[in-house]
Amino acid sequence: MSFPNPVTSVKLVLLGEAAVGKSSLVLRFVSNEFQENKEPTIGAAFLTQKLTIGDRAIKYEIWDTAGQERFASLAPMYYRNAQAALVVYDVTKPASFVKARQWVKELREQASKDITIALVGNKYDLVEDDNEEDLVRKVNVEEGQNLADEEGLLFFETSAKTGYNVKDVFVAIGNKIPEATASGSDTATNQTSGEGRIDLSGGGNFNNATSGCC
Amino acid sequence: MVKERLLRAGEVELLYVKSKVYLHPTPSKKDNICGFLSLSRGPLATNNDILLSFSAENQLSKEEIKIYNNVDLHELEVDLEALQISGKRLANAVASKKREDHIVTKPPVSILVGYSFSIPLSFVFSIQVRKPSSGFWHGSLVINTKDGEKLPILFFHDNESASTLKEQKIRNQRFDPFNSSGDLYWGGDDFIKVLLKFIRVVKSTVETSVLLINPDEDDLRNFANNRRKSSIGGDSSSEAATKPIDFKMPNIGKFLNNAKWRVLETVATLGAQTKNQVVDLVDEHAPVPLKQLMSKPEVKKIGDDFDSARIYLAKWAQQVKEEAEESLKKYMLEDDIYNQINKELGSDEYLTEEEINKTSRRDPIGLTEWKSFFDYSGRLNITANEIKSKIFHGGLEPEVRKEAWLFLLGVYSWDTSAKEREELYASYETAYSDYKLKWVEDTEKRSTEFWMDQKHRIEKDIHRTDRNIEIFQNKKTKRTSTTSTGENANNSNERESSPETPDEASEPEENEEDEFNLSNIRNPHLFNVREILLTYNEYNVNLGYVQGMSDLISPLYFIYQDEVLTFWTFSKFMEIMERNFVRDQSGMKKQMLTLNKLLQFMLPKLYKHLEKCQSVDLFFFFRMLLVWFKREFEWNDVFHLWETLFTNCYSSQFHLFVALAVLSANERIIIQNLQQFDEVLKYMNDLSMKMHLDPLLIRSELLFLKFKRMIDIIDRENSIARSSGKFDNVVNVDHELRQLLNKEPIIQKEVERPEGVGGG
């Protein structure tokens, strides 16, 4: 590593209605991939990614939650200690924007006070070619921007499909996170090799474990 | 059975044959002479007397050509093993009977008859190995005799030889096209391999392509001076033959093997989207010589099947991984697995040998066996418990599931006759269409916000569930329901009654999903799944559709591909799964809690470690328990696991023992390597699609048996304590743990939906 600076860890949670593209945003950010018809998330997925912004190395620890109402009661477990949240809606689905509003409210009431929230209108690729008669877009940029201004949120419209603005969201969040939050002592974190995997190559140990596993 | 007999005089046993070996007496192709290179042994011959022969095809009889070809194509593997044995027991081997289909007339023992030749190995001084390369299209062998004679060069026409082609194909399929010296496999490799079994071969230090056959010290010192020696003592040479072979292949094979393991280790730590990562990994981890090999034009040539060396390499790495895991699996399924798990669990302290033996696996039940369980009237002639135990210990063949799952899920009870089941089916059919009509005919209901939300949820989810399975994929061409079979025609009639039927006339001919109108489903199977889920939403009004159900229904639909049977199996399945989906999550919480207690009871050391990692909420099991490991195992394994769980053979909550087995199998690695909450979580999440089901099922069963025995022991001690008045010694076993011994499914129904609460 050419960075002597300690790695800053950011615990980040994604919230939003089902099928707005939460997992796809994460997949784009972590692996720069897009998967059509990505399966619904059950429970939550956990991924990590490292990013260098200027001279800072930031490790994102991302909780990608299931969007469906039934699992909403689990959300507090994920945002409880989160430093940042992405509240995602689908620019073609007004109901998803209503839901986003509720999530912002819940976060303001329940999550830690200094949590950084980004409001993200996803599926921008679908509205790129909108013409005036036939609007696919159902949530205007202004609506999103207004909510963000009222609540003091970062605001982006993104497309996980094309990659538009995706990295920018995470960079913006990274910039809002104060320098090296207590992760200097966290050597295990620093050794993590990036690209969303935990480095377990403890040599022989892993071999043993593999054979013991199955 | 292959007949065996003693060799007669003038006959030899073929030990090795390579077909399509050519002499090139002139530069003109049409003068090439085609024949067989062989090693053969006559009666009472020592290894030194083994004949190295070239027999021109045109000098052999048809029958003999047949024998030669046969030995070439089919016997290499077998023979190599047999040879090793006979090498050790030389005296016996010489006198023993030979396989009749290996016996041919002894090739004429002269140096050269016509174009054929034949010499004993003891007369071979050296063999120069010329591999195929850019200069030599055909690989060849140059044989020098002890007289200083040079025999005609043998050219291996690999592209014509059936055995070489076969071997190459096998190697390519295994993604292991290299021979043990790290070069591409060619026809001469086998010959050298066989030769090494019989005689001492030393690689020349001066010219490494030259192999010295049974050399003496002088030869080794200056083999270049090869015009010497005319005879060699029989005694000393037979002794030499039994000496260990000095010749060592270069170590690149081992190197490759090590590399394999390095790649494997790293692959195993990765997340699910391995495909791209494997490519990077190989770049990082492939040894330098391997990379160099991959850039050779010959290697690229293999890749007619592959887009590029890079992809080839990636496939290789993946193959390595599978291969290694396969062998691991095999190893684990040997008897050793029982010993190993038992030792680790310490179960022999708790379990009798008989109990442990009971856990051994059987073959899956095939159609014939399944049919044999029923008498002429279609009634069982063995007990349901016997069948369940068989299913528990080996599962079902896919073609049996269609019928067997109806019993396992309680659509039909085990004691019905075929006739009764027919009647039952009819009533199921009616009941299904009644439920379906409830939403089909009620336009008012269908326009409520709740109903439309539910429909949207279902559509969203079925469009993204198991889309890698063929029947759930969109066809490239337009749907052809009009030309389909009778059964499908029925379905489409039924569909016309459904208001959700897409307007086929206006359906565009394209493969894309309509982003804005999910309701316009073009795949008839997805369409059926939606109809079933919408009907279930009606059938179980309180619960309705909840995310996760699309995962539960898709294997069922895959089996039946029929609305009625899928609906009823799904409904029955949902009876036991309903507690996973209730609104307040109490069913899931309770199972997680039970698992937590079970973990403390059974694996206290691991529990303490997880406590340190703040991971005792066992949150990573949420998904596994919610959809019964559907996302953790490969498609085919899911069926096997579920039918095992359906049996309730030991416990209606056996899935918690499967979860415990997952932890137990990873106990050591977790304790040794993982320190933090997110590390544990990520590790457990990433086990998805990497676990092997069979060993895990065995482990689960043993864990259950151990658990049961522990409870028994505690109960026994308690009753002794009570009877002797020592009430302080009585140990209380938690109610939830005791309930794990119960085979009756736990049913928890959803309560009525409160006013104003949405579905989903």
Residue B263 contacts A, CB cutoff 8 Å: no
Check CB contact under 8 Å for A198 and B665.
Answer: no
The number of domains in chain A is: 1
For residue B233, the number of C-alpha atoms closer than 13 Å in the C-beta half-sphere is 5
What is the pLDDT, as a whole number, of residue B426?
96
What is the pLDDT, as a whole number, of residue B138?
81
Q: Is the pLDDT of residue A208 over 90?
A: no
CA distances from B136 to B33, B160, B482 (A): 18, 16, 61
Nearest of B38, B2, B9, B44 to residue B21 by alpha carbon: B38
B294 sits in which H/E element: helix B288-295
Residue ranges of B 696-715 with Cβ closer than 8 A to chain A? 696
Is residue A132 assigned to a domain? yes
User: How far is residue B760's CA from residue B758's CA, in Å, rounded to a whole number?
Assistant: 7
Nearest of B677, B678, B621, B653 to residue B745 by alpha carbon: B653
The DSSP bridge partners found for residue B21 are B35, B156
Check CB contact under 8 Å for B464 and A39.
Answer: yes
Check CB contact under 8 Å for B465 and A197.
Answer: no
Is residue A79 assigned to a domain? yes
Q: What is the pLDDT of residues B283-332, one digit of tens each?
A: 444 444 444 444 444 444 433 333 333 343 444 444 444 544 444 443 33
Q: How many residues does chain B have?
A: 760
Residue of A nearest to B465 (CA): A39
What is the pLDDT, as a whole number, of residue B299?
42
Q: Which residues of B touch A68 (CB under 8 A)?
A: 457, 546-547, 760
Min Cα distance A70 → chain B (Å) is 6
Check CB contact under 8 Å for A42 and B547.
Answer: yes
Q: Which residues of A touch B659 (CB under 8 A)?
A: none
What is the pLDDT, as a whole number, of residue B256?
42
Q: What is the mean pLDDT of chain A?
A: 81
What is the pLDDT, as a whole number, of residue B12?
85
Distance between the two ends of chain A, CA-based, in angstroms? 35
Check CB contact under 8 Å for A43 and B583.
Answer: no
What's the distance, CA A84 to chain centroid?
Answer: 8
Torsion over CA: A133, A139, A144, A150 (sign): positive
The DSSP bridge partners found for residue B5 are B98
Check CB contact under 8 Å for B464 and A199.
Answer: no
Is residue A189 assigned to a domain? no
What is the pLDDT, as a whole number, of residue B220?
54
Check CB contact under 8 Å for B622 and A42.
Answer: yes
Cα angle at A78 between A77 and A84, to 5 degrees?
Answer: 140
Q: Which of A196, A206, A214 sits opposite B265 (nearest CB)?
A: A206
Residue B622 contacts A, CB cutoff 8 Å: yes
Q: Which one of A12, A81, A183, A214 makes the best mutation probe of the B interface by having the most chain B beta carbons within 10 Å?
A: A214
What is the pLDDT, as a whole number, of residue A180?
52
Residue B428 contacts A, CB cutoff 8 Å: no
Q: Is the pLDDT of residue A1 over 50?
A: no
What is the pLDDT, as a whole number, of residue B77?
52
Q: Which residues of chain B have pLDDT under 50?
A: 78-95, 222-321, 323-334, 337-338, 477-497, 502-513, 515
Check CB contact under 8 Å for A42 and B585.
Answer: no
Q: How many CB atoms lie within 10 A of CB B75?
A: 19
Q: Which of A61, A70, A212 sits opposite B760 (nearest CB)?
A: A70
Q: Which one of A12, A46, A129 makes the best mutation probe of the B interface by having the most chain B beta carbons within 10 Å?
A: A46
CATH code of the domain covering residue A136: 3.40.50.300
Q: How many CB atoms lie within 10 A of CB A44?
A: 24
Q: Which residues of B touch A195 (CB under 8 A)?
A: 277
Check CB contact under 8 Å for A39 and B758.
Answer: no
Min Cα distance A176 → chain B (Å) is 23
Q: Which of B466, B551, B673 sits opposite A202 (nearest CB)?
A: B673
User: How far is residue B758's CA from residue B454's CA, in Å, rounded to a whole number?
Assistant: 9
What is the pLDDT, as a whole number, of residue B522?
83
Question: In chain B, where are the structural domains located?
Answer: 4-199, 252-332, 418-581, 586-739
* Cβ partners under 8 Å of residue B759, min gap 6: A69, B450, B453, B454, B457, B537, B544, B545, B546, B753
Is residue A192 assigned to a domain? no
Is residue A207 assigned to a domain? no
Is residue A98 assigned to a domain? yes
Q: Which residues of A touch B665 (CB under 8 A)?
A: 212-214
Check CB contact under 8 Å for B665 and A188.
Answer: no
Give me the CATH code for the B4-199 domain, please.
Answer: 2.30.29.30
Q: What is the pLDDT of residues A135-148, one digit of tens each?
A: 889 999 999 999 99
Q: For the domain with range B586-739, which CATH number is right: 3.40.50.720, 2.40.340.10, 1.10.472.80, 2.30.110.10?
A: 1.10.472.80
B503 is written with which tokens? 């307007």
Min Cα distance B546 → chain A (Å) is 7
Three-class SS of B129-178: EECCCCCCCCEEEEEEECCCCECCCEEECCCCCHHHHHHHHHHHHCCCCE
Q: Which one of B258, B325, B628, B669 makes the best mutation probe of the A interface by having the most chain A beta carbons within 10 Å?
A: B669
Q: Which residues of A touch B547 (CB under 8 A)?
A: 18, 40, 42, 66-68, 70-71
Q: Over the range B651-673, which residues count as b (16 or more CB within 10 Å of their CB) and which as e?
A: bbbbbbbbbbbbbbbbbbbbbeb
* Cβ partners under 8 Å of residue B524, min gap 6: B479, B481, B488, B491, B492
Residue B452 contacts A, CB cutoff 8 Å: no
Q: What are phi and psi of B391, to 5 degrees?
A: -65, -40
Check CB contact under 8 Å for B696 and A68.
Answer: no
What is the pLDDT, as a whole number, of residue B649?
94
Q: What is the pLDDT of residues A153-192, one digit of tens each?
A: 999 999 999 999 999 999 999 999 886 554 433 433 333 3
CA distances from A73 to B583, B585, B591, B629 (A): 9, 8, 16, 22
Residue B332 contacts A, CB cutoff 8 Å: yes
Q: Domain containing A42: what range?
A: 7-183
What is the pLDDT, as a whole number, of residue B531?
95
User: How far is residue B427's CA from residue B552's CA, in Å, rounded to a whole number?
Assistant: 24
B21 is written with which tokens? 């070996």
Residue B666 contacts A, CB cutoff 8 Å: yes
Cα dihedral B17, B18, B19, B25 in deg (nearest 10): -110
Residue ranges of B 500-529 with Cβ closer than 8 A to chain A? 513, 515-516
Q: How many CB atoms lie within 10 A of CB B280?
A: 12
Check CB contact under 8 Å for B513 and A37.
Answer: yes
What is the radius of gyration, based on Cα positions, of chain A? 18
What is the pLDDT, as a whole number, of residue B112?
54
